[in-house]
Amino acid sequence: MEALNRWRPVESITLSPQPTARMLAALLLGQAPTAWRDLPTPDVLVGAGHQTHFSLLAARRRRDGKAVVLMRPSLPLGCFDLCLIPEHDSPPTRANVLTTRGALNRIRPASDLQLDRGLFLIGGPSAHFGWDETSLYRQIAAILATTAGIRWILTTSRRTPTPFLNGLASDSNGALTVIPATETGPDWLPAQFAQAAQVWVTADSVSMVYEALTAGARVGVLELPPKQPNRIGRGLDGLAAQGWVTFFSHWRQTAPLSRPSGTFDEAERCARWIIERWFA
């Protein structure tokens, strides 16, 4: 909605999805919850998450508006006016499908990235990747050793195992500052993206990879052992093949990090698509 608002004035109202059974009945009978009846007639209805699907469709039938879903839906694609689907989910070619490079995010391209600022973003074990602290320590140490003059900040996530920070080697040169996720607020990370010209992200934290790319940083991927071939790994491989990111093992051979080949702003591209086709 923020991206749409950069093209046209937008009044946004956030509603919680209603129970599926209730929305299915509302969809079939053309009814709607009492709470919706006094709301303005919508132009666009946007939902993310499977639990929003029937609420979107019921609201469209009762109140009109275009139904937009930010994912590959569990219902048939034809149910929605527009499906914004990440390319790693292998969307089909359809008139109402717009393939996105990763999930949309709120980060804006930065205008003044600082070459002497760097950021490490550490995730944790996930459904797609295992965890290898020893390997991560070695990767971080190698990057620090070859980037003299860069001030690095390292932060964690809620999934980062507690022992990770305890085993992180101290930095006697003062080049690395560690700020655990528990000490950051909601605006902290966007502020870092607005400054850091280099960002290294663990492979499991794919959403942060796309956020760093949107900011315009040079992005490296700290490698973790994949549990099996998976769509997240394939997505990262695709970004590397296109020159958007660099895996650590490749960086060891070809350092420094490659500069992004263009602007990476998927939210803006999708907003422009909506405006040009529906509200030009």
Tokens of 206: 């794919």
How far is residue 164's CA from residue 204's CA, in Å, rounded to a whole number? 15
Residues paired with residue 45 on neighbouring β-strands, in sequence order: 67
pLDDT at residue 5, rounded to an integer: 92
How far is residue 90's CA from residue 203's CA, in Å, rounded to a whole number? 20
260 touches 244 (CB < 8 A): yes
pLDDT at residue 170, rounded to an integer: 63
Chain centroid to Cα 22, Å, comes to 31
How far is residue 36's CA from residue 98's CA, in Å, rounded to a whole number? 29
DSSP code string of 190-220: HHHHTTEEEEEEETT-HHHHHHHHHHT-EEE
pLDDT at residue 121, rounded to an integer: 98
Q: Which residue has the tokens 């209603």?
A: 18
**Ranges assigned E (strand) in the chain:** 44-47, 66-69, 82-86, 97-100, 114-121, 151-155, 176-179, 196-202, 218-222, 245-247
Chunked mean pLDDT (size 10), the chain, 280 residues:
91 89 83 77 94 92 92 96 93 95 92 95 94 96 92 96 86 83 94 97 95 96 92 90 94 85 91 93
pLDDT at residue 231, rounded to an integer: 85
Residues paired with residue 218 on neighbouring β-strands, in sequence order: 198
CATH topology of domain 114-254: Rossmann fold (3.40.50)
The closest alpha carbon to 107, from 99, 119, 116, belongs to 119
Residue ranges of the alpha helices (H) in 90-153?
Answer: 133-145
Instruction: Kindly provide the b/e burial profile for residues 217-244, where b requires at least 16 CB atoms within 10 angstroms of the residue's own CB.
Output: bbbbbbbbeeeeeeebbebbeebbeeeb
Domain ranges of the chain: 2-105+269-278, 114-254
Indicate the residue type of 165: L
DSSP code string of 138-169: HHHHHHHHT-TTPEEEEE--TTS-THHHHHSP
Helix (H, G, I), strand (E, B) or coil at 45: strand
Burial of 137 (0-12, 13-18, 19+ CB in 10 A): middle
